[in-house]
Amino acid sequence: RYRPQKAKATGKKIAIIGGGPAGLTCGYFSALKGHEPTVFEALPAAGGMLRYGIPEYRLPKDLLDKEISTITELGVDLQTNKALGKDFTLEELQKDYDAVFLGIGAQKSSSMRVDGEDMKGVYGAVDFLRQIGLGKTPKIGKRVAVVGAGNSAMDAARSSIRLGAEEVILIYRRSRDEMPAHDIEIEEAQHEGVKLQLLTNPTKVIGENGKVKAVECIKMELGEPDESGRRQPVPIEGSEFEIEVDMVVAAIGQKIDMEKVGVNASKRSSIEVDESTLQTSVKGVFAGGDGVTGPQAAIDAIAAGKRAAIAMDQHLRGLKISLPPRPFSAEKIGVSESDFEEEPKIKREKMLEIKPADRKDFSEVEQGLSEEQAIRDAKRCLECGCVKQNNCDLRDLSQEYEVDVNKFEGAEMLHFDIDSRHPFIEQDMSKCILCARCVRICDEVVGARAWTLSERGYGVTVETSFNKPLQETTCESCGQCVSTCPTGALVQNKAKFDREFLWPPKRVETVCPYCGVGCHLNMEVDEKGQVIGVGNLIGQGPNEGNLCVKGKFAYNFINHKDRLKKPMIKKNGKLTEVEWDEAIKFVSSKLNNIKKNNGADAIGVLSSAKITNEENYVVQKFARAVIGTNNVDHCARLCHAPTVAGLAQSFGSGAMTNPISDIDKSDCILVIGSNTTEAHPVIGFKIREMALQNKAKLIVIDPRKIKLAEHADYHMRQKPGSDVAVINSIMNVILSEGLADKDFIADRTEGFNELEKALKDFTPEKVEKISGIKADDIRAAAIAYAKAESASIFYSMGITQHTTGTDNVLSIANLAMLTGNIGRPGTGVNPLRGQNNVQGACDMGALPSSLPGYQAVSSDAAASFGGKWGCEISEKSGLTVTEMTEAAHEGNLKAIYIVGENPMMSDPNIDHVKEAYKKLDLLIVQDIFLTETAMMADVVLPSASFAEKDGTFTNTERRVQLLNKVIEPVGESKADWQTISEVAKAMGYDMNYSSTEEIMDEIAELTPIYGGINHPRLKGVCLHWPCPDDANDGTPILHTKEFTRGLGKFHAVKYRPPAEEPDDDYPLVLTTGRVLQQFHTGTMTRKSEGIEELAGHAVVEISSKDANSLGIKDGQKIKVTSRRGSIEPIAKIASIREGTVFIPFHYAEAAANRLTNDAIDPVAKIPEFKVCAVKVEK
């Protein structure tokens, strides 16, 4: 059973008079706040009117007792049979307690004000029901008259039936329509035999020998409406008649007994309180519930008890009492059945209940719904409430300024149909207040310009261009409009019951698991522990609160039904679920045997850019200390290995030099080999904003007309693979125009003379023939870059994924140094990392030649690691990802342990990879889903997702960020560091970490660039490595005074063509990449129905000229073939360089990497994903 956590004890004592709903609630919340409440109840048991006013056939006492036990178990002292004025006085309580709460309720019945009502056999309804609750059953006779028509009257009437009355007559002075009791109560009373005597009013109680004998009544008719809106009953003269009865129950109202209370009474003869503090006329004495308001619903008394607990807590802590205001609420007007015409009409589920003829005692009548019935009934819900009620700026402001909605009654309101066609964004423009925040954020921040203000005057509306469906506009589905909308006009389009209504979700701040930007976000969790949404953290993190479509909406994979929940071992050719002990024993035994028989280097380990720094550290430690090999790598080999290799040679450090926030300080931005708005959307927002607002010149070098190109001052479409020639030509122009930064070159670099000689051969005219870019365009862009005060370069895999990838990076470094655009705000060389922790995985030494912190395995640092780990580290560099594949194919590598990677989608020439993996003796895959690679595995171990663990990620700008655990791991999945530790122990190595914080402390001890980084510190500050010690605040900008290597080094790089160029058989060039909505191998994003609706199939972009020459139409399925295989994507005619086609690599059913070339860069060992020769056929 739920046990709430109490605050630290305050030592303050609270006396609560009255054990009804208000008093018990006050005690509950007072105990939670650390106080010591004592509840004094005058009757034998607590519950108040819930126990003594509501009969047990409606509210069983055992259920009530269970609820009360939850309160007393918190430490609330309950003392029964203790009455105010009899057993103690208010003054006595004030001496012994620090505060007092009066929750005495309305315990007296109101008078009928007729002659004879003090006669024996006449009861007030409150007294009558109390007697029943106490087990003191009144003698009722055969005929009972109940006067009144509220719920208490129904309870009295139905109770009389159960006590044996042969006839129960309910007398009411108005008609059936005016009866205030709930309809269901009236209907049930009639089913049980209660007769309604309507338009009748008692005038006298007639008795005999002091006991009731009859009730004299008069007929009534309805006149004009009174203040309540009901028609006033008027007596009909001469219509008097008598009803013979044995008992009369007067159920016409309740009142408060103010005798002996000891505080001032209000004009209504109730307890007088200050409504802003709930304090009575006596200081330190508070009151709430029916004793203050008069008889109300139980929930009102409960609310009063909670508010009183808040007020008393503030009072006891010496604070000014400030109670939370009552929420502002307004109804949506103009709603009719026509609004729900498309909804199926389903009848309400019939609850199982005791038949009226069998209701002979006080057994509970309604037996409840079965689980199946409850689900069916819940599905009938039309969701009339607003999903933004807990997060509505308009509601909050209306509440703050006490807006009176009645002033707007009768005003004309524009009505719009709800538009749910977009998979992620629902539009209810009837709630739009025309603040234009959606229009502005889409225009000024995102740059998509999907929303606009239409019409004029009172008819102004927010619409899409030409009122198209949102998904058919320039909308990027980022949800920024949803996050900024102050009302429910734009909300996330969720299925029924996945929405937030009455209860705000738990929110946990963490880091996005997708690209390298490392966006901060709020994960929203429901009461079942499932992620139901993502919130924006305005102004926080590298993203400053902005999110893209994946970060905002593609979280469905976390709780997806296909998540791996138990380990699996392949038995008889089929993966079969097993227990963890069996799986760990199997893995450790197999690895030990292979190591014993074939040596440690017969085993390879692939770590992951998706797991935390701490987990990457543990994985590479496992490879080196447990297995004994440097055969450890990860997917950086396939994306930014040339960055690490190239920038390390030029600068001494292979990472982004400047923070994301520096984009605002750039005067010129050069983007090459990066479709930034799709691969790193939030950075794309900032670059596009700079261009749209004319704050910086924008140069885009890309064979496709990517979205940034639409806003570029210069867009140069190079032939894929000609990047070195283009960059060299730009430098050639800079030198010939005398725009090089001579002082910077002289003071801070070396190797310039060799570069200068090499560049003479790269004139724009010569490079035009190589690249296809016009010479004048090269000159104009070069001059714009060189003349800028602060110029920055952004690149990604369009630069690195080449056999000349390292040369490309060296050339970019040359360009930045040539112009002195290094080490200052707004400048720099900024490689954009593709995955959330690819930077961190490299930092942690998941590389075959580097220990954590880029310390070579052959360096003196190896001894420090070996000493700490209790092993000797090999000085020989291990195998890369691509080399492991070849070694497996050749039979030299016997086992591969893969954590969070999917080579059967991400590696080039995947048919070759498949053949290599088939030759392994052991393939272990540790992941969150049964990926294409996991399907081939001998053992599959279930991993916890990013939302189910803690640790750190390091984003593209070297910012180390704390990842917080949001929910518990799904099924029996475990954090990767825990699984690796268990395998290590089973193999005989004691890897015994208790937390990720402990792992990070070890990282800091052995890794100088992380020396000052630890979990507690990351909770309060933003740290970019290098951060060598606790006194250091990190290094947002690298190379400010000197390069990591001392002097920056120029490299004379010559142009080399791609490994495979088009010919007569394969006349087109294929380049690959990402689309906005999908991510990497699709493991996570393709589990989202909304993402699939937006981008659910593979396309091949082809120029209109090429399409026409081949007779290909837009939307047609076509065949694309390389020397390695064929796939069949859908043709998409796009603005792309003639002779070039583009295919995204996310789709297993048309895997682009079935076509790509596995030729590699000789330095970084990266495959040439960006250039291969293909042919296209219908």
Residues 953, 1000 contacting (CB under 8 angstroms) = no
**Residue recorded with tokens 């500050």:** 1021
Which residues make Cβ contacts (< 8 Å) with residue 594, sequence separation at least 6? Answer: 602, 603, 894, 895, 921, 922
Q: Is 38 a residue whose pLDDT tops 80?
A: yes
β-strands 200-208, 425-427 pairing: unpaired
pLDDT tens column, 479-491: 999 999 999 999 9
Cα–Cα separations (whole angstroms), residue 794 to 643, 655, 672: 12, 12, 6
Q: Is 410 a residue whose pLDDT tops 70?
A: no
State how far the Cα of 333 lies from the Cα of 408, in Å rounded to an integer: 11
pLDDT reported for residue 499: 64
Q: Is 332 a residue whose pLDDT tops 80?
A: no
State how far the Cα of 898 lies from the Cα of 928, in Å rounded to an integer: 12
- In CATH, which of 3.40.50.740, 3.40.50.2300, 3.20.20.70, 3.30.365.10 is domain 576-639+837-953+968-991? 3.40.50.740
Q: Of 325, 280, 324, give the one whose Cα is nearest residue 17.
A: 280
Span 786-792, average pLDDT: 98
Task: Identify the H or E element spanning 231.
Answer: strand 231-235
- Which alpha helices (H) appear in 146-279, and where do they start and end? 151-162, 183-191
Span 409-436, average pLDDT: 88
State how far the Cα of 736 lies from the Cα of 752, in Å rounded to an integer: 15
pLDDT reported for residue 386: 83
pLDDT reported for residue 1078: 97
Torsion of CA 131, 137, 138, 139, to 10 degrees: 180
Cα–Cα separations (whole angstroms), residue 208 to 160, 217, 429, 996: 22, 17, 71, 86
**Residue recorded with tokens 């007030």:** 124
pLDDT reported for residue 457: 82
Paired tokens of 931: 């990926």
Task: Identify the H or E element spanning 954.
Answer: strand 951-954
State how far the Cα of 408 lies from the Cα of 809, in Å rounded to an integer: 64
Residue-wise DSSP of 1019-1071: TT--EESP--STT----SSS-SSSBTTBSEE---PPP---SS---SSS-EEEE
pLDDT reported for residue 330: 78
State how far the Cα of 464 lies from the Cα of 454, in Å rounded to an integer: 9
Residues 265, 127 contacting (CB under 8 angstroms) = no
pLDDT tens column, 818-859: 999 999 999 999 999 999 999 999 999 999 999 999 999 999
The band of 369, judged by pLDDT with boundaries at 50, 70 and 90, is very high
pLDDT tens column, 437-447: 999 999 999 99
Paired tokens of 167: 């006839």
Q: Is 748 a residue whose pLDDT tops 80?
A: yes
State how far the Cα of 1072 lies from the Cα of 1070, in Å rounded to an integer: 7
Instruction: Provide the 10 A C-beta neighbour count for residue 517.
Output: 30
Q: Is 788 a residue whose pLDDT tops 90?
A: yes
Taking each continuous run of H as one helix and of E as one strand, the counts in the chain are: 36, 51
**Cis amide prior to 1028 (ω within 30 degrees):** no
Which residues make Cβ contacts (< 8 Å) with residue 791, sequence separation at least 6? Answer: 666, 667, 668, 669, 670, 785, 819, 821, 826, 827
Paired tokens of 433: 């207040």
Q: Is 343 a residue whose pLDDT tops 90?
A: no
State how far the Cα of 112 lies from the Cα of 947, in Å rounded to an integer: 64
State how far the Cα of 382 lies from the Cα of 344, in Å rounded to an integer: 10
What's the order of all strands across the beta sheet hosting 520-525? 506-511, 520-525, 531-536
Residues 327, 399 contacting (CB under 8 angstroms) = yes
Q: Does the domain formed by 423-493 have CATH 3.30.70.20?
A: yes
Q: What does residue 465 show for φ and ψ, rounded to 5 degrees?
A: -60, 125
Task: Identify the H or E element spanning 1144.
Answer: strand 1140-1144
The CATH number of 1068-1177 is: 2.40.40.20
The band of 164, judged by pLDDT with boundaries at 50, 70 and 90, is very high
Positions of E strands within 236-352: 241-244, 247-250, 254-255, 285-287
Q: Is 459 a residue whose pLDDT tops 90?
A: no
pLDDT reported for residue 497: 60
pLDDT reported for residue 327: 82
Three-state DSSP string of 890-937 = HCCCCEEEEECCCHHHHCCCHHHHHHHHHCCCEEEEEECCCCCCHHHC
The angle that helices 21-32 and 61-72 make with each other, rounded to 10 degrees, is 30
Task: Identify the H or E element spanning 101.
Answer: strand 99-102
Paired tokens of 511: 């880091």
pLDDT reported for residue 138: 86
**Which DSSP letter does residue 781 get?**
H
pLDDT reported for residue 225: 85
Residues 394, 488 contacting (CB under 8 angstroms) = no
**Which DSSP letter does residue 564 get?**
-
State how far the Cα of 821 lies from the Cα of 824, in Å rounded to an integer: 7
Backbone conformation region of residue 589, classed left if phi is above 0, alpha if psi is from -120 to 50, else beta = alpha
Q: Is 1150 a residue whose pLDDT tops 90?
A: yes
The band of 498, judged by pLDDT with boundaries at 50, 70 and 90, is low
Provide the 3-class DSSP secondary structure of residue 526.
coil
pLDDT reported for residue 137: 85
- Please, what is the average pLDDT of the chain? 95
13-106+257-316 and 108-255 have identical folds: yes
State how far the Cα of 298 lies from the Cα of 48, in Å rounded to an integer: 10
The band of 528, judged by pLDDT with boundaries at 50, 70 and 90, is confident
pLDDT tens column, 502-524: 678 899 999 999 999 999 999 99
Q: Of 816, 740, 823, 827, give the one whose Cα is nearest residue 789.
A: 827
pLDDT reported for residue 597: 97
The CATH number of 495-552 is: 2.20.25.90
pLDDT reported for residue 627: 98
**Rg of the Cα trace of the chain?**
38
Domain boundaries, the chain: 13-106+257-316, 108-255, 423-493, 495-552, 576-639+837-953+968-991, 654-830, 1068-1177
Residues 926, 898 contacting (CB under 8 angstroms) = yes
Residues 923, 894 contacting (CB under 8 angstroms) = no
Q: Is 229 a residue whose pLDDT tops 80?
A: no
Span 133-156, average pLDDT: 95
Residue 1005 burial (10 A CB sphere; 0-12, 13-18, 19+)? exposed
Backbone conformation region of residue 858, classed left if phi is above 0, alpha if psi is from -120 to 50, else beta = alpha
State how far the Cα of 1098 lies from the Cα of 733, in Å rounded to an integer: 40
- State in Å, rounded, how far the first CA of the chain is from the last one: 64
Q: What does residue 373 show for φ and ψ, rounded to 5 degrees?
A: -65, -45
β-strands 451-454, 791-795 pairing: unpaired
The angle that helices 613-621 and 996-1006 make with each other, rounded to 10 degrees, is 70
Which residues make Cβ contacts (< 8 Å) with residue 798, sequence separation at least 6? Answer: 672, 673, 674, 675, 702, 723, 1071, 1073, 1170
The band of 772, judged by pLDDT with boundaries at 50, 70 and 90, is very high
Paired tokens of 1022: 């933003």
Q: Is 156 a residue whose pLDDT tops 80?
A: yes
Residues 1129, 1143 contacting (CB under 8 angstroms) = yes
Span 122-126, average pLDDT: 96
Q: Which fold has domain 654-830?
A: Dimethylsulfoxide Reductase; domain 2 (3.40.228)
State how far the Cα of 816 lies from the Cα of 827, in Å rounded to an integer: 8
Report the Cα 587 to chain-centroid distance in Å. 35
β-strands 143-147, 247-250 pairing: parallel
Positions of E strands within 271-339: 285-287
The band of 411, judged by pLDDT with boundaries at 50, 70 and 90, is low
- In CATH, which of 3.40.1390.10, 3.40.50.150, 3.50.50.60, 3.40.50.920 is domain 108-255? 3.50.50.60
Percent of the chain with pLDDT over 70: 99
CATH architecture assigned to 13-106+257-316: 3-Layer(bba) Sandwich (3.50)
Q: Indicate the pTM of the whole model.
A: 0.85
- Which alpha helices (H) appear in 9-60, and where do they start and end? 21-32, 49-52
Span 654-666, average pLDDT: 97
Residues 235, 220 contacting (CB under 8 angstroms) = yes
**Residue recorded with tokens 């619903």:** 297
Beta partners for 492? 425
Cα–Cα separations (whole angstroms), residue 944 to 196, 215, 513, 974, 975: 64, 75, 13, 5, 5
Residues 597, 621 contacting (CB under 8 angstroms) = no
The band of 496, judged by pLDDT with boundaries at 50, 70 and 90, is low
